[in-house]
Amino acid sequence: MEETVSKDWGERFRADRPKYYDFTKEVDDLLHKILAGNSIDYVNIEARTKSVGSFCEKISRDGKSYADPLRQITDLSACRVICYYNSDIDRIDELLRKNFKVLDEYSEKKDKKENPREFGYLSRHLVVEFGAERLKFDEYKRFRTLRAEIQVRTALQHAWAAIEHKLQYKNQSEVPEPLQRKLFQISALLELADDEFEFLQKKLGVLRKEYQDEIESGEQELPINVESVDVYLLTSNAIEGVRSSLWKYGYSMAPQHPSARNPLSKLVETLQVVGIGSVSDLDKQLFEGKTKGFWTEQFDKLFKTWKTPEMPNKLVLDPVGVVRIMLILASKKTVAEKALRRVPFGESLNAALKSMMVE
């Protein structure tokens, strides 16, 4: 009898699964938009719709009884947000509550241990539905009765969950006693690492604010590193003035993703090759002794040198690339050539820059 009931529900889920698949995709798309719109960096967002086989296996387990498993099982559609910091979990939780209807009676805060002497799986689980405002739109109305489980965890919590799943220990009582102490130590170390990364993130925020205050007050004797250079670029009106005028001369500015560190690393490496050791030295190199129209003239000439009939109509640069070009053109030829060898642009742009170098 139970096998027949399971099969009947399985067929119903098989028929409805395309709708659940579409629902999962809508939730996944909305999660990406919510996090991007609120400038929350994350490691990954995973999404899946439960398979028919997994659904049938779950409702057939010993000790499980469902009057309506399509309503009672809340993870038929599921997403997982893997974030960087513990504080991100609370921020994401708050955003989810603004954009979904959260069913707290089914949700769980598993990201904090009730017993500090236990080890195990940590994650925030929120069971959600689309809210009344979203359901007013025709494209969402067919999802009115559907629920999704959204898990939110840090990268280290995810690492522990993956290892724990591999070991197949569902709770502490299943672990052989000789292994319990070691697993507890590993779990504690991962929790400590999460806390330390949180501390570093807050410390970094304080440090960047100090850099900003010093630069805005005219004190630019700051050491060159990714953070000091980034703050300088964000606060320099002179550099922004150069960037904002480039569209007139054939350039197109590509947006730099807020989490993209590589362009800044290239700039810092270029600064090291050129021999610039402070933000003050960088500012002097770029602007001291140069007329107001110097950089627009240089970029105009660079574009005309780069542009040949087979090249596109626009030269696309990212914001950091603009500063790297300024640095190359403001340096002596031998130094600039060395910098281009160490941190090159594309072949055509490299050739155009070399033709403009001065002895």
Chain segment 151-191, per-residue pLDDT in tens:
999 999 998 888 777 775 656 666 777 777 787 788 888 88
Contact 9, 59 (CB under 8 A): yes
User: Is residue 111 within 8 Å of residue 122, measured between CB atoms?
Assistant: yes
**Which pair of structure tokens corresponds to residue 302?**
């660079």
Q: What is the pLDDT of residues 201-246, one digit of tens each?
A: 999 999 999 999 999 998 889 999 999 999 999 999 999 999 999 9
**What pLDDT does residue 222 have?**
94
Confidence of residue 258 (pLDDT cuts 50, 70, 90): low
> Rounded mean pLDDT of 253-278?
82
Q: Are 81 and 152 in contact (CB under 8 A)?
A: yes
- pLDDT single digits (tens) 97-115: 999 999 999 998 876 655 5
pLDDT at 2 over 60: no
Q: Residue 90: its pLDDT value, please?
A: 94
Name the pLDDT band for 1 (thresholds 50, 70, 90): very low
Dig out the tokens for 80 from the structure.
């997982």
What sections of 236-330 are H helices per DSSP? 237-245, 262-274, 279-287, 294-306, 319-329
What homologous superfamily does CATH list for 2-155?
Beta Polymerase, domain 2 (3.30.460.10)
Tell me the pLDDT tens digit for each residue of 68-93.
999 999 999 999 999 999 999 999 99
Between strands 251-253 and 315-317, the pairing is parallel
pLDDT bucket at 64, cuts 50 / 70 / 90: confident
Helices 333-342 + 347-355 axis angle, to 10: 170
Asked if residue 254 has pLDDT above 90, the reply is no
pTM: 0.77
**Per-residue pLDDT tens for 138-151?**
999 999 999 999 99
Residue 354 has pLDDT above 70, yes or no: yes
**pLDDT for the residue 108:** 87
Q: What's the chain's length in residues?
A: 359
In percent, the amount of the chain with pLDDT more than 90 equals: 73
Beta strands 77-83 and 148-154: pairing type? parallel
- Asked whether the predicted pLDDT for residue 62 surpasses 80, the reply is no
Tell me: pLDDT of 292 over 60.
yes
Q: What is the pLDDT of residue 112?
A: 61
Domain positions in the chain are 2-155, 220-355
Inform me whether the pLDDT recorded for 4 exceeds 80.
no
